[in-house]
Amino acid sequence: MMDDRERIRFKMRRLRRQLDQHSSEWSAQAHRWLDWKYQVSQHPLLSVGIAAAAGYLLIPRKTPAVQVEIDEATRREIVKQLQRQQFNEPISQSPAVPTLWQTGVTIASQFLLRSAINYGVSQIDRLINSVQTATEHPSSDTFNAPGTHDIHSRNTPIPENNLHLYHG
């Protein structure tokens, strides 16, 4: 029969094991709760709603227009100053319109650039295809050793058992 000390030690060991087990479970649960990918996968509609609300709150609000009350004499004075300033400043030129020659050169240069890019891409594609073809189908002068068969490459060994499911 166990004495009191042994019983207490036994209970303490059992409690420690349970605490270790519970703490690892709680740690895993906390990790899942803090993992945003897990939360989005478990609650997609709620995630979209939270993202929409956050976007709405983060967009700055439009500041209202300030309305200033001025008397008639001040308004007339401002209009006079604006008219004087308008006539005293030089009239700005409208943006330059490209000539027919400039437009033609622009179109031709864009055509040549696109043609050069397309040619380069086709050459790279041709080179890649030729390398892939060479690796998939090596030249016919490779040596076939006994017990080998040409399925995908020249030197693919065939197992030497009695059951052959494929003969190509």
pLDDT tens for residues 24-78? 888 888 888 888 888 888 889 998 999 899 888 888 778 888 888 889 999 899 8
Nearest to 151 by CA among 128, 130, 168: 168
Tell me how far apart the alpha carbons of residues 85 and 82 are, in angstroms, rounded to a whole number.
5
pTM over 0.85: no
SS3 content of the chain, % helix, strand, coil (to 5): 65, 0, 35
